[in-house]
A and B are shown apart, each in its own frame.
Chain A
Amino acid sequence: MLELASIDATTDVEGVMKDTDGNPTGELGEMAAQFMAYKVTGMRKLDGINSNDLWSFAKTATNAGVTTATDLHARVEDQNVQAYVEVTKSADYPLRLVPAAAALTMSIQDGPSHVAQLKQHNNDKLYLGLCKIMTDGSIQGFTGRLKWPGYINGKPNGIWNLPPQTLTQMVEAYHAAGLQMHMHTNGDEASELMINAIEAALHKNPRPDHRHTLTHCQMADEAQFRRMAQLGICSNLFANHIYYWGDQHYSLTMGPDRATRMDACGTAKRLGVPYTIHSDAPVTPLDPLFTAWCAVNRQTASGKILGPNERIEVNDALRAITLGAAFTLHLDHLVGSIESGKFADFAVLENDPTDVPAETLRDITVWGTVVDGIPRPASQQSN
């Protein structure tokens, strides 16, 4: 592929990773190198979603004990919406879907009304109407926007996907339209921008119980959590990052001080910020019990415990992956707990997670799920 793209030792372009001898390793970061990869391999953009994709995703979800899933950056073109509607109308479909419309693919003028109109397609298993704002990049890619002192290895600050002013306008527009937003904020400067934007939007259009949610919200400090609590902002913390990149964050990106308070479930709980935790699948695997294990143990891939004071109890983590998530989706009256009047949705586990050592939470076998009162065995049960 490198040969086809004429990428060799003489190529001097950001994102073409090279080994110590100066030869390209094959790892291509950044847009330019990725464009060449697409070009020479004939790959175009990914096609839209079809019903087969949604059925196979639902199978994966069932295997992991998931009964409601949200795609927190969904394209809401007609083809995708049709696929959502088609599968969710089937009684056999074992999953409720909450696709959050990607606001950055729409103009600020047209986006809010478009997202509002999508609600007409909703049914018991489909909940359109949420939207997603992308603000910064990723911390491990050094593209997240960080407050002082920035990246500890001296890398320049990360990137905004749009000018901060435009992102602020976008928040105001979707909020004014009565819609709920989830905001991608990895770095603490990105969280700051969105907290400021929500605060400004609330001054213009006061609205109780908006439940706007900072997703990832990995580096938020305690002062930011206090503001979030005051403003009614929820957090969706990326607990899996502690395991997958915690060691790197400790030594390469944000350093010990900030790494030990990253994805601060303990602080969110203590300050009363409604919170849930996530895998960001396919960035890390879909497995809520593993995600809960991360929040409870805060153990990195190398075995280090990263900030024991931010650990939460097993019961807190179980609530975060059920009712906590439902709350941030405005669906806690329908799912997230087993109660009269709500859907009969739950995961069926081979062991009681409150009755095993907290270190083994991730090892519990999932039998399958019950969705809408119908048992849905995981793949391993069907033989």
Chain B
Amino acid sequence: MGSHDPLPNRATDCQVNGIQSSALPFTVLGGFLGSGKTTLLNRLLTTTKETRYAVLVNDFGELNIDERLIAAHDGETIALANGCVCCSMADGFISALTTVMGRATQFDHMVIEASGVSHPGRIMDIAKLDPDLSPNGAIVLIDAPQFLSQLADSMIKDAVLTQVTEADILIINKANLTDQSTVNAVRNILDNQNPDCTTLINDQIDFDPSPLFDAMHMTALGIENNLASIHDKTKSTHKHDQFHSCVLRQNQPLSRDAFENWATALPPFVIRGKGLVSFTESPHQQWIWQKVGRTYHLEPGSETPEHSSTVVLIGTEQMTTTMTPTIYGPFSDR
């Protein structure tokens, strides 16, 4: 890179909030040609405040980033004023990934824009293999008006269905451009193809995608609240699936079995979860818990004198109206 000023080091941030593991969260954004990946990434890059994303894209030309946001443009890389970086994969995926990994400490999150025919699972395998990366979900966009005709095209059907199968979060995108019966038909196919997946419907161009990636800033965990608290982060005018969060806290160490049973059984409308938990077996050892779609990871964090556990859940409106023990789990002890 050129003479662009050095960005703050992520390791420092880790010490501050204590929750980030040293591995860089790695999200794959998939979906067939025309499903809205570029629009979504553009929104993510231009609206993010706290999170510095490194995004690997297929083509800058399509991204069309507002010139005023660009701090430096150096060949295959565009640096944004908000700390994000966009790297083109025109020179090959491995080459772009290696370039970005070389500066991994300058970012909080890596996002890969899969090509329209890529299998997200194969890309996610990289994060499974590389200890410097942590799998953070495959988000796959479905082109609501086109999906049914894509399945009728033998040249692309298998690629589209594989993307559905390998997704952690599915978004039925551009729902506003088709009718309700088509959306229902699409939804049925997705539910059959990937029954455990979180499936959202989006009918807006300007929705804020950051909660899908990882918008649970750990400041939220600092909220002093023994009980579950519900925040409605969205405007009430939105009709369809919007994102809501809730913070759950427990001052006593948790039974690991009870926690894992709860985490496994969380319904699909809980899209993401993240938190610091301590278990009865070794209360001083904190664990970092991260859930995306149907999968979650638990990894050891730092030692702490506290025995408390706090998690944040992000989900659809259904989550706020279903405040049952399924959601509270071991945190419901008042």
Residues of A within 8 A of B (CB): 5-7, 11-15, 30-36, 38-39, 44-45, 105-107, 109, 145, 156-157, 159-166, 189, 193
B56, chain A: closest CB distance, angstroms: 12
The answer on a CB contact under 8 Å between A31 and B126 is yes
Give the docked Cα–Cα distance between A186 and B155 (Å). 15
Q: Which 3 A-B pairs have the closest CB atoms?
A: A32-B125, A163-B116, A163-B33
| Listed stretches B7-15, B128-136, B179-187, B252-260; interface member | B128-136
Interface residues of B in 69-103 (CB under 8 A from A): 90-95, 97-98, 101
Check if B90 sits within 8 Å of A162, measured CB to CB: no
Contact at A11–B116, with CB atoms within 8 Å?
no
Residue of B nearest to A75 (CB): B91
Tell me if A7 and B129 are in contact (CB < 8 A).
yes
The complex places the Cα of A14 from the Cα of B128 at a distance, in Å, of 11
Residues of chain A lying within 8 A (CB to CB) of residue B90? 105-107
Q: Is the Cβ of B115 less than 8 Å from the Cβ of A107? A: no
Least Cβ distance of B168 to chain A in Å? 17
Which residues of B lie under 8 Å from residue A33 when comparing CB positions?
Answer: 125, 129
A39 touches B98 (CB 8 A): yes
CB distance from A16 to the nearest CB of B (A): 8
Q: Which residues on B sit within 8 Å (CB–CB) of A13?
A: 125, 128-129
Min CB distance, A134 to chain B, in Å?
A: 12
27 example contacts (A-B, Cβ-Cβ < 8 A) are as follows A6-B131, A11-B129, A14-B121, A14-B122, A31-B93, A31-B123, A31-B125, A31-B126, A32-B125, A33-B125, A34-B94, A35-B98, A35-B126, A35-B130, A36-B126, A36-B129, A38-B94, A39-B130, A45-B98, A105-B90, A107-B59, A107-B61, A160-B155, A163-B32, A163-B117, A166-B116, A189-B155
Tell me the bound Cα distance from A15 to B97 in angstroms: 19
> A31-B126, A109-B61, A159-B117 known; A165 and B93 CB under 8 Å?
no
CB distance from A203 to the nearest CB of B (A): 20
Q: How far is the CA of A45 from the CA of B93 in the complex (A)?
A: 10
A156's nearest neighbour on chain B, judged by CB, is B158
Whether B218 is near chain A, meaning CB under 8 Å from some CB there, is: no
Which of B33, B61, B92 contacts A165, CB < 8 Å?
Answer: B33
CA distance A15 to B59 in the complex (A): 27
Residues of chain B within 8 A (CB-CB) of A163 are 32-33, 115-117, 156, 159
Known: A45-B95, A163-B33, A166-B116. A14 touches B125 (CB 8 A): yes
Q: A2 → chain B, closest Cβ, in Å?
A: 11
Report yes or no: A45 in contact with B122, Cβ–Cβ below 8 A: no
Would you call B155 and A164 a contact (CB within 8 A)? yes
B92 to chain A, nearest CB (A): 6
**Nearest chain B CB to A49's CB is how many angstroms away?**
15
Q: State how many angstroms separate the Cβ of B57 from the closest Cβ of chain A.
A: 12
A residues near B92, Cβ cutoff 8 Å: 45, 105
Residue numbers in B under 8 Å from A145 (CB-CB): 155
Q: How far is the CA of A7 from the CA of B129 in the complex (A)?
A: 8
Asked if A160 contacts B94 (CB within 8 A), the reply is no
The answer to whether A38 touches B33, judged by C-beta atoms less than 8 angstroms apart, is no
Contacts of A39 in B (CB 8 A): 98, 101, 130
* CB-based contact A162/B94 at 8 Å: no
In the complex, residue of chain B having the shortest beta-carbon distance to the beta carbon of A158: B158
Shortest B97–chain A CB gap in Å is 6
Residues of A within 8 A of B33 (CB): 163, 165-166
Q: How far is the CB of B94 from chain A (nearest CB, A)?
A: 5
CB distance from A136 to the nearest CB of B (A): 10
Contact B155 A35 (CB under 8 A): no
Besides A31-B93, A34-B94, A35-B129, 16 new A-B residue pairs in contact (Cβ under 8 A), listed by A number = A6-B129, A12-B128, A13-B129, A14-B122, A31-B126, A32-B122, A32-B129, A35-B126, A44-B95, A44-B98, A105-B90, A107-B59, A156-B158, A159-B119, A160-B117, A163-B159
Q: Is the CB of A35 within 8 A of B116?
A: no
Nearest-CB residue, chain B, relative to A13: B125
**With a CB–CB cut-off of 8 A, which chain A residues contact B115?**
162-163
Contacts of B159 in A (CB 8 A): 159-160, 163
Contacts of B93 in A (CB 8 A): 31
